[in-house]
Amino acid sequence: MDDRYGEGGSLEDRGYEIAPWTLRWRGLDLGALHATESTFALSNGHIGIRGTFEEGEPRSLPGTYLNGFYEQRALPYAEAGYGYPEDGQTVVNVTDGSIIRLLVDDEPLDMRYGTALFHERVLDFRSGTLRRVTEWESPTGRRVRIKSERMVSFTSRAVAAIRYEVEPLDGDIELVLQSDLLSNEPIPARTGDPRVAAALHRPLVADYAASSDCRAVLCHHTKRSGLRMAAAMDHEIDLPGKARTSIEADEDLARLTVAVDVPAGQAITLTKYLAYGWSARRSTPALRAQVDAALAEAMETGWNELLERQREFLDHFWSVADVELDGDPELQQAVRFALFHVIQAGARGESRAIPAKGLTGPGYDGHAFWDTEVFVLPLLTYTAPIAARDALRWRHSTLDQARDRAATLGQHGADFPWRSINGDECSGYWPAGTAAFHVNADIANAVARYLFVTGDDEFARECGLELLVETARLWISLGHHNSLGEFRIDGVTGPDEYSAVADNNVFTNLMAQKNLEDAAALAVKLTGRARALGVTEEEVAQWRAAAEHMRIPYDDALGVHPQAENFTHHAEWDFATTPAENYPLLLHYPYFDLYRKRVVKQADLVLAMVLRGDAFTPEQKATNFGYYEALTVRDSSLSAAAQSVMATEVGHLQLAYDYFAEAALTDMHDLHSNVENGLHIASLAGAWMACVYGFGGMRDHSGRLSFSPRLPPRLDRIAFHLLVHGSEISVEITPKSVAYTLTSGDPVELWHYSTPFTLGESPTVMLIPDCAPVEPVAQPPGRAPIPRAAL
């Protein structure tokens, strides 16, 4: 087993039980908390709560997050330069409402002490809840059973809730429950940057605290970013008899205490309702009113109705988004785990970004990257288009900041950030950040796909056209026509972060080309709106000319597309003498050495062939794929999914399956040894892409939706659903044939390989042509994906 991937083994070896609709951890393993707190995290895109124990301790890394709520900090520069971003942003662990401490005959329930006679936790993908059952014997020999269930509501955006039940197992018992709101809780240091540590040390300043009956509220603001937030809790208590209750609140702690004698055979049940809100503009009294109202609504709705609404929301999601795999139960579970966490990341983000870690941990400082538009939005566009629209509306809401950034850099149009929380560039490393202009084209590509799939004319007028226009304007400003008439885009960084500031990166140029073409087409279609944006016929002609004459480098001697100009002439990295422990390379070698060698961190040219496959011949795809397989080390979780998709297209089906497994199991197997900091949302979305774009062969080039399906050897069947032009279609693939079915809506025009057809009321069954034999391809020594049989 490759050391990169930890201990290896199946999920069951790691404490997880393989099941189609749940992720269950049976048995107590405190050493695994760093992983399970992320995998068991709950979110709705607005609120995120890591899967820590209700009792607060033991824990690895507590975390409660509000999407877009951050603290500001100065970016470090040894030598500053013109145009460098001045401030960074770091997600804040806000007021923790998940804590319910328990004392059993005056003994605190702490899983590090006493004995866990039975313990399991279950993340249920259909109910959208995290359940837990623990039978615990205290150090003095008293035994209790704890059952809990928690949710972050998809239907009530500001609300989370926990039901916590305690039952004595050995006679009458004295219990005390303490339900907390805790701010500025200490968290382990997770960075060597003292500026980040300082920003996260007690980041919340108290503004207001109040309590009465069973309700409490705490209000705070951040020191530098000036954002304000409120957190509130209320409770329902089902008691077997009389109890003594009290509540208190001060600056950073509100606590409800319930003391009760519970007779044998009975139980106490505490239902805790939480509400969160934040704003950059609204006052503390307004935020307090907001969370009070959310709590009142949650209490009126009640626990059972909240559960029912959660299930209804997910029933609808799964009816459209589910992917069925026959032949590999572990990957069936992994794909549903992936889909569940992606919808958690994007469902109710609304006016905010979808961070690279969702709201499952503080990794990447809570920033959003281009990952969202390239990997996450294709999934949401075809399964949950409202969430995709909201993510694009967030980009549109930051246009003024992107225009200002472009102006700072001496460019026209808009320049969207490489990493950000609020829309401002937060990368202090300009070769990877500022120079990664492909982000603009990634956003434009997501806009164009959304418009193609949904036909949302209102969005096109309100947001879509302006996003396409301003991104197109940047390319005209950034590039130039050379003496041969070619349009060049020099000095940019593509998706591969082991190459930087290169000329004519093929991914960037091809994506910019499509950006320019899409902007021109929509400007002509929406002439009045385009005119209001200052678009002229001359500007449209300029876009079209740049797109037509875009330089796409090609190495005639090798018969491949260089990743960027002259890439194929660089010295090759010495893979043979690079020890396994020196991966990822960026942690062991200087960037200047990586930049001048032929070594690829993550799919770049290969990703271009996925998103712009219409720009390559089948022969070019096969040759390019083989060439870049030998150079790509996958030091990024973004790579495996793209490599899986292209491996399927060019006929390497077992290799495609191995890469698919890597993308799907990235977090459940902790393949990159960093799941403690949160899940890899783009890799999880990439698992869907590997199924739908890869084995389903789906492409959405040039205004048509086509499929070229192929099953890998291990699978007997794949089935998935898509929303297209307001209709729902299902695709069911077996080794020899594929059935297309119109589940609802109007007929849809589709392509099966090179054959067009109209999918109407009756299913259409098509044969799958045999896959021609292909020559094996090689990866750098030690960097091949783990064979699926070994996972």
Q: Cis link prior to 584 (omega < 30° from 0)? A: yes
d(CA 609, CA 616): 7
d(CA 550, CA 487): 5
- Residues 149, 373, 497, 732: which is the catalytic one? 497
Tokens representing 342?
Answer: 């992606």
Nearest 5°: phi and psi at 718?
-130, 135
DSSP state, 581? G
Residue among 432, 759, 479 nearest 586 (CA): 432
d(CA 681, CA 347): 13
The two beta strands, 748-752 and 706-707, are parallel
Q: Which amino acid is at 736?
A: K
Per DSSP, the three-state class of 202 is coil
DSSP secondary structure string for all residues of 497-536: TTS-SBSS-HHHHHHHHHHHHHHHHHHHHTHHHHHHTT--
Residue 261 belongs to what H/E stretch?
strand 253-262
The two beta strands, 717-724 and 159-168, are unpaired
Distance of CA 410 to the CA centre of its chain: 32
d(CA 18, CA 99): 29
Please list the residues that pair with 257 across neighbouring strands. Answer: 178, 246
Q: How many CB atoms lie within 10 A of CB 528?
A: 7
414 vs 56, 88, 377, 469, 519, CA distance in Å? 45, 20, 21, 9, 14
Distance of CA 181 to the CA centre of its chain: 28
Per DSSP, the three-state class of 86 is coil
Exposure of 638 by Cβ count < 10 A (0-12 exposed, 13-18 middle, 19+ buried)? buried
Contacts 24+ apart (CB under 8 A), 238-246: 238/268, 238/269, 238/270, 238/271, 239/268, 240/266, 240/267, 240/268, 243/268, 245/214
The verdict on whether 497 is a catalytic residue reads yes
Q: Which amino acid is at 280?
A: A
Task: Report the catalytic residues.
Answer: 497
